[in-house]
């Protein structure tokens, strides 16, 4: 009986009034029961470890000995006397700056071509999506190591065009490039998201603008890009966060080499923590990574007001 009155009250024009007669929450206790697995997990496996690692970063913690508070000495060492930190940070920033834009641009361009092709779209989408399905696996990393080795097929293929091959993986100038290429090759899942986004753009926007004499390029910058910008924004942030943490392919394909040319930050973190068991020092490295990722995310979201367009914005122009 109680239920049916609530349903009626909800249908009534002033829903606010009904909340005076009803408790503010329909299930305070049951709600917490339902979310308790996540809540416990968050507190025990995310929040607490997060602060624990901040604490570790000010200690000389190893798994073997009792830890001692050493103040900011870990951080001082990292920033003043740790060439491997500088090298791994440099490699990671290069990797992020190259792989993320290339992947997003490839995804956007191919999505735009594909969105126009009505026939065969399923086939193309499958072919392009498939690499991103398997790309993160060890198997593909091993394949990559073979393809770009000195006897790999990549050299055989470019020899057809008269280019002399080399060992792309053992050459410090090109090793990181092969890893970036592996990442960009997996643009398919991002493309599927863009493809779904492109379908959401109302066709009359394009029709109206072509009546006004807009060409394809103007349409791209004035309609497609702004309409897609929220999706682009979200994917940019997720891609940056993931790229900062790149580990498997650098570990398996090049093992950080040659001459530390692919020694990404996560590999350095792994080595400090789990080869040398310097967990305090490695925690400091982890917090520096967190701060870098948060800073990058904030930077992107700060710039977003200049380029991300939401339909609730007044008028058809970007917010300034």
Partner 1 sequence: MTTTLNWKPALRHVFMILFSFLMVYPIVWWIGASLKDSTELSSPGIFPSVPQWENFTKGWNSVPGHTFTDFYLNTFGLEIMVLIATLLSCTLVAFGFARLDFPLKKFWFSILMLTLMMPGQVLIIPQYALFHQLGWVNTYLPFVVPHLLAGGAGGSFFVFLLIQFIRGVPKELDESAKIDGCSWFGIFWRVVMPLAFPAVVTVTIFCFLWNWDDFLGHLLYINTVDKYTVGLALRMINDSQSAAEWGQLLAMSLVSIIPATLVFIFLQKYFVDGIATTGIKG
| Sites for partner 1 among residues 115-144 (CB under 8 A) | 116-117, 119-120, 123-134, 136-140, 142-143
Distance, in Å, from the CA atom of 103 to the CA atom of 108, rounded to the nearest integer, reads 9
Nearest Cα residue to 185 out of 137, 245, 115: 137
Q: Where are the alpha helices (DSSP H) in the chain?
A: 2-11, 15-21, 28-41, 48-56, 73-80, 83-116, 121-134, 138-147, 153-160, 175-185, 188-200, 203-211, 216-219, 225-244, 248-249, 265-270, 279-307
Among 8, 27, 259, 295, binds partner 1 (CB under 8 A): 27
- 217 counts as binding partner 1 under rule CB under 8 A: no
Joined tokens for residue 153: 């097929």
Among 8, 33, 163, 295, binds partner 1 (CB under 8 A): 33
Residue 44 near residue 254 (C-beta atoms within 8 A): no
Residues numbered 62 to 81 that lie near partner 1 (CB under 8 A) are: 63
For partner 1, give the closer residue by CB, 255 or 316.
255
Q: How far is the CB of 316 from partner 1 (least distance, A)?
A: 23
- 163 counts as binding partner 1 under rule CB under 8 A: no
Among 8, 12, 39, 259, binds partner 1 (CB under 8 A): 39
- 15 counts as binding partner 1 under rule CB under 8 A: no
Among 5, 8, 15, 46, binds partner 1 (CB under 8 A): 46
Distance, in Å, from the CA atom of 103 to the CA atom of 194, rounded to the nearest integer, reads 12
- 25 counts as binding partner 1 under rule CB under 8 A: yes
Q: How far is the CB of 138 from partner 1 (least distance, A)?
A: 4
Q: How far is the CB of 50 from partner 1 (least distance, A)?
A: 7
CA angle 234, 240, 243 (to 5 degrees): 140
Nearest Cα residue to 239 out of 175, 309, 187: 187
- 40 counts as binding partner 1 under rule CB under 8 A: yes
Joined tokens for residue 4: 């049916």
Residues numbered 182 to 201 that lie near partner 1 (CB under 8 A) are: 185, 188-190, 192-193, 195-197
- 309 counts as binding partner 1 under rule CB under 8 A: no
Residues numbered 85 to 104 that lie near partner 1 (CB under 8 A) are: none
Chain centre to alpha carbon of residue 94: 15
Q: Give the three-state DSSP class for 173.
A: coil
Residues numbered 226 to 255 that lie near partner 1 (CB under 8 A) are: 231, 234-235, 237-238, 241, 244-245, 247-248, 251-252
CA 233 vs CA 3, 206, 218, 239: distances in Å:
43, 22, 21, 10
Using the contact rule CB under 8 A, the part of the chain among 55-63, 94-102, 167-175, 214-222 near partner 1 is 55-63
Exposure of 248 by Cβ count < 10 A (0-12 exposed, 13-18 middle, 19+ buried)? middle
Count, residues near partner 1 per rule CB under 8 A: 101
């Amino acid at each position: 009986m109680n239920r049916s009155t609530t349903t009626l009250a909800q249908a009534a024009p002033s829903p606010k009034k009904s909340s005076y007669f009803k408790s503010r929450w329909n299930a305070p206790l049951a709600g917490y029961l339902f979310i308790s697995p996540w809540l416990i997990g968050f507190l025990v496996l995310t929040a607490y470890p997060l602060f624990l690692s901040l604490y570790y970063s000010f200690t000389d913690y190893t798994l073997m000995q009792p830890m001692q508070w050493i103040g900011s000495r870990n951080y001082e060492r990292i920033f003043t006397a740790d060439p491997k930190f500088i090298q791994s940070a440099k490699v990671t920033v290069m990797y992020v700056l190259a792989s993320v834009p290339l992947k997003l641009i490839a995804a956007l361009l191919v999505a735009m071509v594909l969105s126009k092709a009505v026939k065969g779209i399923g086939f193309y989408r499958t072919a392009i999506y498939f690499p991103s399905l398997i790309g993160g696996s060890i198997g593909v990393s091993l394949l990559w190591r073979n393809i770009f080795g000195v006897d790999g097929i990549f050299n055989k293929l470019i020899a057809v065009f008269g280019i002399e091959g080399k060992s792309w993986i053992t050459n410090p100038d090109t090793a990181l490039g092969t890893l970036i290429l592996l990442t960009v090759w997996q643009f398919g899942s991002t493309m599927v998201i863009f493809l779904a986004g492109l379908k959401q753009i109302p066709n009359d926007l394009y029709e109206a603008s072509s009546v006004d004499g807009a060409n394809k390029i103007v349409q791209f910058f004035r309609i497609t890009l702004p309409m897609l910008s929220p999706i682009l924004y979200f994917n940019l942030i997720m891609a940056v966060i993931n790229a900062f943490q790149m580990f498997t392919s650098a570990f398996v394909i090049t093992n950080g080499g040659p001459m530390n040319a692919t020694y990404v930050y996560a590999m350095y973190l792994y080595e400090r923590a789990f080869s040398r068991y310097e967990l305090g020092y490695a925690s400091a490295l982890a917090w520096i990574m967190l701060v870098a990722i948060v800073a990058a995310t904030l930077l992107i979201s700060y710039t977003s007001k200049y380029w991300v367009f939401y339909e609730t914005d007044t008028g058809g122009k970007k917010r300034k």
